[in-house]
Amino acid sequence: MKKRLHKFVSAIIWKEAGQNGEGTGFLISRNLVLTVAHNFYNGEIRLKNDSIKIYPGAFGELKDACII
């Protein structure tokens, strides 16, 4: 039986100052995504995001986002 390991990969889409950003993360628990700091920080400055959408199991077309 093949395991679907890609189900733990998540696409992260955010909007900051009217511009979209994108990155990836890994679902490490039911409500926790591990990602890299440069997705949300510029050096030591936290980027102010208007919205963040998480797409668990991102594989192919993005649908069914979890909005935080």
Residue extents of the structural domains in the chain:
7-67
Instruction: Read off the pLDDT band of 12 (50, 70, 90).
Output: confident
Model confidence over 26-64: pLDDT tens digits? 888 888 889 998 888 888 888 888 888 888 776 656 566
- Residue 65: predicted pLDDT: 60
Q: What is the rounded CA–CA span in Å between residue 4 and residue 50?
A: 32
Stretch 12-26: mean pLDDT: 84
Which residues fall within 8 angstroms of residue 22, CB to CB, at 6 or more apart?
11, 12, 13, 14
Q: For the beta carbon of residue 42, count every other beta carbon within 10 angstroms.
A: 10
Report yes or no on whether pTM surpasses 0.85. Answer: no
Which residues fall within 8 angstroms of residue 26, CB to CB, at 6 or more apart?
8, 9, 10, 33, 34, 35
Instruction: Read off the pLDDT band of 66 (50, 70, 90).
Output: low
